[in-house]
Amino acid sequence: MKVAIIGMGVAGTSVLREWTKAQKLNPSIEITVFTDKKTFGRGKAFQQDDPRLLMNQSAKFTSVKPDNHRDFVEWIKMRHNDEQPEDKFYPRAEFGAYVAERMNEWLAESKATVIYDKVESIRIVDQHYRLTWAHQTADFDAVHLCTGTFPYKDPYDLNDHPHTIADPFPMQEKLVKLPQGATIGVIGMGLTSIDVFRYTHAHRPDINVAFFSRSGTFKTLISDIDSIENQYITRENIEQEKAKHNGLIPLATYLDWFKKELTYLKLSLDEPLTAESLGSKQSIKRQLAHQSEIDIIQVVLKNITLLQTDIWSTLTEADKHLFIDKYYKAWDKLRAPFPPETGEDLFKAWDENVFQVYDNLVQVTKNESSFTFELDNDETIKVDYVINATGNDINVTYDMEEVPLISQLVNERIIQAETFGGIQVTVPTLSVVSQKYGVLNTLKAHGQLIAGIQFGNSSVRIISKSARASVEDIVNQLENKVSSDVL
């Protein structure tokens, strides 16, 4: 059996891990991986970059071995002689080194073939997947699409301007080139903007940075509360409700459970949970002083992480849209926070006007060598450079110039877009759902490519764990076929 893995970040490495294990029972399995040399084993998210750019999860929550949640912790202990790394936040590049090291172990063990070229097309020919790359073709029995993160959104059509940094990573290569004393406008105030702050605050105090968004607020800080067991939003309750409602659960039921969780924890919600209040200067100050209810709410949401894909699949399309329209912005600020030590630096710099924050952004206009930001009160701010920190555009279309393989697959109806981002797959096996071919049980998709199905589940733990079900599904199909042939 010939298996192709396209992309070798966390998802691709996790898939390789599972096929290496399967190969021990079936030596006829041949593995080929397609990868970019620069991000080989790391992916874009964990590529080489400045050590101040930290993970937004502590070491104890990150591992590419589902059977050993302490694997990264143990790796850190051996590499840095750090006896208590569990609750620390390590550089993303450091985690990338760990993933790459594990990948190399599995590559050696599986004797996988490594091809440093981009796959240009995939077509289905005689029940095989015909891959084309660099004027070569080969047929495979199974393919895993682990194509990594999508390009950033470009809501103001700025990416073609010579003074736009369309993707700021790696910052140690791109932001170091900014001219002395330049004025910078950062569009978006998510986790990428936090990294822009970390880097510029440490290395480029000479430039003038301003952050722009509609709300004028950042994400929230990570809670330092270790664990609280949920009483209502549990797998047992979800399964019971699914049985009562033919696999569907109303959003109102989840909201009721969430309110009951907060009542159980004696929370009165004095602090409003709105996108405009969460991540504000005052909100960050309260979190740093441990006077905020946000910390406990984050723990409740963290307990739901491993259930999120199941929860999302139980909602009707109408309830999914309702959640997006009414609750998503606040939920997103709570579920993707940043470390407290960064919060301390951010609050101090914000309070001392080291950088500026503007809300109610309406438009950005391109000039010949600058940009003009327009706010809804008719105020305008002019800057020399723009940094795009808007986040990845997860909408899949037939004309995605920066991701030509995905464009080809959509255009030829081999994959199809999911309403809420990425493409359609089955859960938990991650088989691609094709408009042309139906369910393709040996074509799997992973990571951000299935963001609309594994909704809000971009964590290392989820990506790593879900690789197992996808590979086991193909192995079971192979075993069933062999048994059928024998009979």
pLDDT confidence tier of residue 296, bands split at 50, 70 and 90: confident
- Mean pLDDT for all residues in the chain: 93
pLDDT digits (tens, 9 = 90+) for 367-421: 999 999 999 999 999 999 999 999 999 999 999 989 999 999 999 999 999 999 9
Residues 212 and 287 in one domain: no
Q: Is residue 121 within 8 Å of 85, Cβ to Cβ?
A: no
Sign of the alpha-carbon torsion through 248, 252, 253, 255: positive
Q: Is the pLDDT of residue 480 over 90?
A: no
Q: Are residues 184 and 299 in the same domain?
A: no
Q: In this structure, are 145 and 67 located in the same domain?
A: yes
Q: What percent of the chain shows pLDDT beyond 70?
A: 97
In a domain, 400, yes or no: yes
pLDDT of residue 483: 52
- Quote the pLDDT of residue 336: 74
Looking at residue 53, its amino acid is: L
Q: What is the 3-state secondary structure (H, E, C) of 271-290?
A: CCCCCCCCCCHHHHHHHHCC
Domain presence at residue 159: no
Residue 269: the pLDDT is 63
Give the tens place of pLDDT for each residue, 237-262: 999 999 999 999 999 999 999 999 99
Phi/psi of residue 266, nearest 5 degrees: 60, 40
Domain-located, residue 228: no
Which position has the higher pLDDT, 226 or 373? 373
The residue-averaged pLDDT of 464-472 equals 95
Structural domain includes residue 404: yes
What pLDDT shows up at residue 272? 60
The predicted pLDDT at position 88 comes to: 92
pLDDT at 335: 83
Residue 227 counted as domain residue: no
- Domain CATH number, residue 169: 3.50.50.60
* Residues 144, 245 within the same domain: no
Instruction: Provide the residue count of the chain.
Output: 487
Q: What pLDDT is recorded for position 185?
A: 98
Q: Is the pLDDT of residue 338 over 70?
A: yes
Give 407's contacts (C-beta < 8 A, 6+ positions apart): 397, 398, 399, 400, 401
Q: Check whether residue 330 and residue 360 sit in a common domain.
A: no
Asked if residue 140 and residue 27 are part of one domain, the reply reads yes
Residue 144: inside a domain, yes or no? yes
Same domain, 124 and 61: yes
Helix, coil or strand: residue 220:
coil
Q: Which distant-in-sequence residues (6+ apart) come within 8 Å of 476 by Cβ?
A: none
- 381 and 399 both lie in a single domain: no
The answer on pLDDT for 469 being more than 80 is yes
Percent of the chain topping pLDDT 90: 81
Q: Is the predicted pLDDT of residue 459 greater than 90, yes or no? A: no
Least confident of 147-156, 357-366, 455-464: 455-464
- The answer to whether the pTM exceeds 0.75 is yes
Q: How far is CA 292 from CA 57, 69, 200, 214, 285, in A?
A: 20, 30, 29, 24, 9
> What's the rounded Cα separation, in Å, for the pair 17 and 65?
8
What's the pLDDT score for residue 486?
A: 43
My answer on whether 263 and 287 are in the same domain is: yes
Residue type, 387: I
Residues 187-198 have a mean pLDDT of 96
Quickly tell me which residue has 């550089």 as its tokens: 91
Residue type, 481: K
Please give the backbone phi and psi of residue 32, each rounded to the nearest 5 degrees, phi first: -125, 130
> Is 472 exposed, middle or buried, given 0-12, 13-18 or 19+ CB atoms closer than 10 A?
middle
Instruction: Determine the structural domain holding residue 128 and report its residue range.
Output: 2-150+394-486
**What span, in angstroms and rounded, lies between the C-alpha atoms of 174 and 197?**
14
The single-letter code of the amino acid at 263 is: T
Q: pLDDT band at 482, cuts 50/70/90? A: low
> Are the C-beta atoms of 359 and 279 separated by less than 8 Å?
no
Q: Residues 13, 128: one domain?
A: yes
pLDDT digits (tens, 9 = 90+) for 122-178: 999 999 999 999 999 999 999 999 999 999 999 999 999 999 999 999 999 999 999
Residue 46 has pLDDT above 90, yes or no: yes
**pLDDT greater than 60 at residue 484:** no
**What's residue 404's pLDDT?**
96
Asked whether the CA dihedral 303, 305, 306, 308 is positive or negative, the reply is positive
Task: Look at residue 481 and tell me whether its pLDDT is greater than 50.
Answer: yes
Pair (325, 467) in one structural domain: no
156 lies in a domain? no
Q: What is the pLDDT of residue 487?
A: 44
- On whether residue 195 sits in a domain, the answer given is yes
Shared-domain flag, residues 207 and 274: no
Which candidate, 121, 120, 104, places its Cα nearest to that of 112? 104
Q: Report the number of distinct structural domains present in the chain.
A: 3
